[in-house]
C-alpha cells in the first residue's frame, strides 16, 4: 500500500482499516513512511473512517446504556482559547449523557484532561468505573491514552516526524463509547467536509462539524462554517453569533494562559459571570445541545443553556460530578 500512497492513489475504507492494524506490528520506519505519504497525498473521508473504525475496534471497550453525546474536537488551532469543549460537556450533562473523550494538552494551552483536573474532577482509567460514573452523574471522561493501547507504538513515531498526520484528526472519531451525537470542532475549514462524511460513514445519528474564525469551535468573534450530519444526509451552512442574539467579541477576550486560568474562567461563568467567555461557552453549548437533539433549534437550545447556568443547575452538576469522582482520587 505504500507504493499506492506514494503514487497519490486513495485507499479504500477496508485498506485504511488494514493499514491501521498493521501499525501494531510494523517497524517504526515503515509507520513513519505511511503517515508521511498519506499526509502528502491528503487523506480522504474513506481513509479517515477506516482508520477511525480500526482505532475503535482496537480500543478498550466501554458499553454505556442509552444515547451519548461527545464534544471532543481535533484541537490544533494553536490560538489558546478557553477550553470550551470541556465547559460545554459539563453543561450538556444537565440534559444528556456525555462521554467526553480527551487528552492532556498537545498543541493547545489546556487540554481537556488538564482542565478536568483543575476543575476538581477525578477520572478513572478503568472502563467499568468510567461506565458507573456516567450512570450516576450523566458525565464521564474517557482519557484517550488509557482506552487506546494501540497508540503506544505510534506516538513516538508521530513525535519524531514532527508534522501533522491523520492522527491529528482521529480523536473525535475514535471515542470508545461510540456516541450517537457529536459536536466536532476542526482546526481547518477544509477538514469540515472530510470529517462530516467520515462521521456519517461511522453511523452517527447527528453531528455538527464546525470551524469558526480560525478556531476548532463555534466562533463568538466571527462566522462559523457548519456541516450538519443527520445519518447519511449532510448539509453545510454558515452561522454567526448574531443568529443567537450574541454580540461579537474580540478574540483576545477568549484567550487563556493555561489549564488553571481556563478552569477559573469556566468556574466564573458557571457562577453567573457575564462577558465574552460566557457568550463563547453558551454559544458552543447551544450548538452541542442541538446536535444532541435535546432542542428543536439553536434559539431554544440557547435559552435552555442560559437557564441551566442562571438557575445554578450547572454549578450543582459540577459539584455532583466532583463528589462522585472523589472515589478515583489517588
pLDDT, position 22: 96
169 and 101 together in one domain: yes
39 and 111 together in one domain: no
- CA angle, 294 then 147 then 71, to 5°: 25
49 and 85 together in one domain: no
36 and 90 together in one domain: no
Residue 12 carries which DSSP code?
P
We report the CATH number of the domain holding residue 20 as: 1.20.970.10
- Yes or no: say if 310 and 113 are a contact pair by the CB < 8 Å rule: no
Give the domain extent around 31.
Answer: 2-58
166 φ, ψ to 5°?
-60, -25
237 and 296 together in one domain: yes
22 and 144 together in one domain: no
Taking the alpha carbons at both ends of the chain, their separation in whole angstroms is 45
pLDDT, position 257: 87
How many Å apart are CA 30 and CA 95, to the nearest integer? 46
We report the CATH number of the domain holding residue 289 as: 3.40.1030.10
54 and 83 together in one domain: no
pLDDT, position 197: 99
The count of domains in the chain is: 2
pLDDT, position 125: 92
31 and 103 together in one domain: no
- Domain membership of residue 63 (yes or no) is no
162 Cβ neighbours under 8 A, 6+ residues apart: none
Residue numbers of the chain with a pLDDT score lower than 70: 105-110, 330
pLDDT, position 329: 84
243 and 186 together in one domain: yes
pLDDT in tens, 313-327: 999 999 999 999 999
pLDDT in tens, 38-84: 999 999 999 999 999 999 999 998 999 999 999 999 988 889 999 99
Amino acid at each position: 500500500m505504500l507504493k499506492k500512497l506514494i503514487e497519490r492513489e486513495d485507499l479504500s475504507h477496508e485498506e485504511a482499516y488494514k493499514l491501521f492494524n498493521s501499525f501494531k506490528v510494523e517497524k517504526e520506519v515503515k509507520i513513519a513512511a505511511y503517515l508521511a505519504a498519506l499526509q502528502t497525498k491528503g487523506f480522504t473521508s474513506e481513509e479517515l473512517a477506516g482508520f477511525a473504525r480500526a482505532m475503535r475496534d482496537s480500543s478498550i471497550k466501554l458499553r454505556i446504556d442509552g444515547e451519548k453525546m461527545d464534544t471532543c474536537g481535533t484541537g490544533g488551532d494553536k490560538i489558546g482559547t478557553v477550553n470550551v469543549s470541556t465547559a460545554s460537556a459539563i453543561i450538556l450533562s444537565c440534559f444528556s449523557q456525555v462521554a467526553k473523550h480527551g487528552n492532556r494538552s498537545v498543541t493547545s494551552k489546556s487540554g481537556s484532561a488538564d482542565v478536568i483536573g483543575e476543575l476538581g474532577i477525578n477520572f478513572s482509567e478503568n472502563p467499568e468505573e468510567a461506565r458507573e460514573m456516567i450512570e450516576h452523574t450523566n458525565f464521564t471522561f474517557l482519557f484517550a491514552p488509557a482506552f487506546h493501547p494501540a497508540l503506544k507504538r505510534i506516538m513516538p513515531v508521530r513525535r519524531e516526524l514532527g508534522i501533522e498526520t491523520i492522527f491529528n484528526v482521529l480523536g473525535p472519531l475514535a471515542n470508545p463509547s461510540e456516541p450517537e451525537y457529536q459536536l466536532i470542532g476542526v482546526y481547518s475549514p477544509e477538514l469540515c467536509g472530510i470529517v462530516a462524511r467520515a462521521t456519517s460513514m461511522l453511523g452517527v445519528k447527528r453531528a455538527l462539524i464546525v470551524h469558526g474564525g480560525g478556531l476548532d469551535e463555534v466562533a463568538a468573534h466571527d462566522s462559523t462554517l457548519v456541516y450538519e450530519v443527520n445519518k447519511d444526509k449532510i448539509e453545510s451552512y454558515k452561522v454567526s453569533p448574531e443568529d443567537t442574539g450574541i454580540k461579537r467579541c474580540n478574540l483576545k477576550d477568549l484567550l487563556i494562559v493555561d489549564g488553571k486560568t481556563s478552569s477559573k474562567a469556566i468556574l466564573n461563568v458557571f457562577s453567573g459571570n457575564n462577558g465574552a467567555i460566557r457568550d463563547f461557552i453558551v454559544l458552543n453549548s447551544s450548538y452541542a445541545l442541538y446536535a444532541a437533539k435535546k432542542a428543536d433549534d439553536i434559539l431554544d437550545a440557547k435559552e435552555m443553556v442560559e437557564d441551566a447556568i442562571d438557575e445554578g443547575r450547572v454549578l450543582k452538576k459540577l459539584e455532583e460530578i466532583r463528589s462522585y469522582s472523589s472515589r478515583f482520587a489517588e
